[in-house]
A and B are shown apart, each in its own frame.
Chain A
Amino acid sequence: EADIYQTPRYLVIGTGKKITLECSQTMGHDKMYWYQQDPGMELHLIHYSYGVNSTEKGDLSSESTVSRIRTEHFPLTLESARPSHTSQYLCASSGPRDHTGELFFGEGSRLTVL
Chain B
Amino acid sequence: QKEVEQDPGPLSVPEGAIVSLNCTYSNSAFQYFMWYRQYSRKGPELLMYTYSSGNKEDGRFTAQVDKSSKYISLFIRDSQPSDSATYLCAMSYAGNNRKLIWGLGTSLAVNP
Q: Which of A12-20, A61-69, A77-85, A92-100 lies at the binding interface? A: A92-100
Q: Known: A31-B97, A43-B102. Is A101-B42 also a contact (CB below 8 A)?
A: no
Interface size class of B (residues with CB under 8 A): 20 to 34
- Closest Cβ of chain A to B17, distance in Å, is 26
User: In whole angstroms, what is the CA distance A104 to B46 when docked?
Assistant: 8
**Residues of B close to A40: CB separation below 8 A:** 8, 104
Q: Which of A8-37 contact B (CB under 8 A)?
A: 31, 33
Does more than half of chain A's interface fall in helix, strand or loop, or is it mixed? Answer: mixed
**Residues of A close to B45: CB separation below 8 A:** 2, 104-105
**Residues of B close to A92: CB separation below 8 A:** 43
B41, A107: Cβ atoms under 8 Å?
yes
B42, A107: Cβ atoms under 8 Å?
yes
Chain B CB within 8 A of A102 CB: yes
B43, A100: Cβ atoms under 8 Å?
no
B43, A101: Cβ atoms under 8 Å?
no
Number of A residues whose C-beta is below 8 Å from B?
Answer: 24
Cross-chain pair count, CB within 8 angstroms: 67
Q: Known: A108-B42, A108-B43. Is A100-B95 also a contact (CB below 8 A)?
A: yes
- Closest Cβ of chain B to A88, distance in Å, is 9
Selected contact of B43 from candidates A44, A45, A99, A105, CB within 8 Å: A105
A105, B44: Cβ atoms under 8 Å?
yes
- Closest Cβ of chain A to B42, distance in Å, is 5
**Residues of A close to B42: CB separation below 8 A:** 107-108
Q: Known: A100-B32, A101-B34, A101-B95. Is A42-B43 also a contact (CB below 8 A)?
A: no
Beta-carbon contacts of B21-57 to A below 8 Å, as 1s and 0s?
0000000000011100000011111100101000000
**Residues of A close to B104: CB separation below 8 A:** 40-42
- B contact set with A: CB distance below 8 Å: 2, 4, 8, 32-34, 41-46, 49, 51, 88, 90, 92, 95-98, 100-105
- A contact set with B: CB distance below 8 Å: 2, 31, 33, 40-45, 48, 90, 92, 94, 98-108
